Amino acid sequence: MDLSIYLSIALVFFFIEHRFSYRPTSLKNRLYYLVRDLPFALVNLLLPPFLIKKVIFFYSDFLNKTIPNFNFLFPREEMNGIGILVVGFVISDFIGFILHRYLYHGVLFKYFHSVHHNGDVVRWHSAYRFNPFELVLTTSIIYMLFYPIGIPPELFYKLSLYNLLINYLNHSELPLGHPLIEKFFVTPNYHVIHHSVEPGDQRSNFGGVFTIWDTIWKTKNEKKFLLNKKLGTSL
Ligand SMILES: [Zn+2]
Ligand SMILES: [Zn+2]
């Protein structure tokens, strides 16, 4: 997507969060933390897309060469429209949940996902605070499932963009959340619990977009707001 659109959306989030944050603070403080996350934003806007394209290329080439008469499960012409976007969202969110729950909060936490948790504030730009290789791994696994189904790369890129915007929102300090909404969807109030230093809290609310996975896996934490909780990593 055009860089100017990314910048405009980022600017809107910066000022809306400043105006409506549940942790009122100075603009200087907001700028300080934004600048601290900028290297993550720069690296993660450039490196993962580049590496993911390489993975996609080698993977599709490999499938086409090794499986005689390789065919997509569904014809690509049928893989358009809002229905498939929703299906894509559900699949990618589920894979993201499973990796987050078992892999990044298990064996690979120290090397990958702890980067996302070691900030003492959680703001919209925390959506960029990731080890780039975690993003490459997660996204590549999702695409490896999408490709044989026939989901085209354009739809995959659209999903990544929507995911980024949802991540901006869910990492923001906007006091948004309601038990009714959280029956189905992750909100900023819901996700910030996952960023608490308390190990019990950190091992809950793994969902990215939908909360149903946490409900099914019994990792849903319906604690009320965390205004005075310390955020960061428990390690
Ligand atoms: Zn996490
Ligand atoms: Zn997070």
**Comparing 130 with 74, which gets the higher pLDDT?**
130
Q: What are the two backbone dihedrals, phi and then psi, of residue 196, each rounded to the nearest 5 degrees? A: -65, 155
Domain ranges of the chain: 3-177
> Under 8 Å CB-to-CB from 52, ≥6 apart: which residues?
136, 139, 140, 143
pLDDT of 83 > 70? The answer is yes
Average pLDDT over residues 59-79: 78
Separation of 191 CA from ligand 2 center, angstroms?
6
Separation of 14 CA from ligand 2 center, angstroms?
17
**Whose structure tokens read 């991540």?**
167
**Which among 60, 134, 133, 141 is positioned nearest to 95, based on CA atoms?**
141
Tokens for 213, please give them: 């996975």
pLDDT of residue 77: 67
Average pLDDT over residues 42-69: 87
Q: What's the pLDDT band for 2 if we cut at 50, 70, 90? A: low
pLDDT of residue 164: 86
Q: Are 53 and 124 in contact (CB under 8 A)?
A: no
Separation of 103 CA from ligand 1 center, angstroms?
10
> Under 8 Å CB-to-CB from 207, ≥6 apart: which residues?
93, 97, 186, 190, 213, 214
Task: For residue range 96-119, list pLDDT tens digits in order.
Answer: 999 999 988 988 898 899 999 998
Q: Are 159 and 92 in contact (CB under 8 A)?
A: yes
Measure the CA–CA gap between 27 and 29, rounded to whole angstroms.
5
Task: For residue range 147-190, list pLDDT tens digits in order.
Answer: 888 887 777 777 888 888 999 999 999 999 999 999 999 999 99
> Residue 60: exposed, middle, or buried by beta-carbon count in 10 A (0-12, 13-18, 19+)?
middle
Tokens for 199, please give them: 């190990």
pLDDT of residue 181: 95
Q: Where are the alpha helices (DSSP H) in the chain?
A: 3-20, 27-66, 81-98, 114-117, 132-149, 153-170, 188-194, 199-202, 212-216
Q: Which ligand is nearest to the CA of 170?
A: 2
pLDDT of residue 87: 83
pLDDT of residue 234: 55
pLDDT of residue 213: 97
Q: Are 102 and 222 in contact (CB under 8 A)?
A: no
Separation of 202 CA from ligand 1 center, angstroms?
7
pLDDT of 10 > 60? The answer is yes
Separation of 79 CA from ligand 1 center, angstroms?
32
> Under 8 Å CB-to-CB from 226, ≥6 apart: which residues?
189, 192, 193, 196, 201
Separation of 44 CA from ligand 2 center, angstroms?
15
Separation of 124 CA from ligand 2 center, angstroms?
10
115 bridge partner residues? none
Separation of 105 CA from ligand 1 center, angstroms?
7
231 bridge partner residues? 196
- pTM for the model: 0.89
pLDDT of 13 > 60? The answer is yes
Measure the CA–CA gap between 78 and 85, rounded to whole angstroms.
12
Q: Which ligand is nearest to the CA of 130?
A: 2
**Which among 231, 52, 24 is positioned nearest to 159, based on CA atoms?**
52
pLDDT of 218 > 90? The answer is yes
**Whose structure tokens read 């993977």?**
59
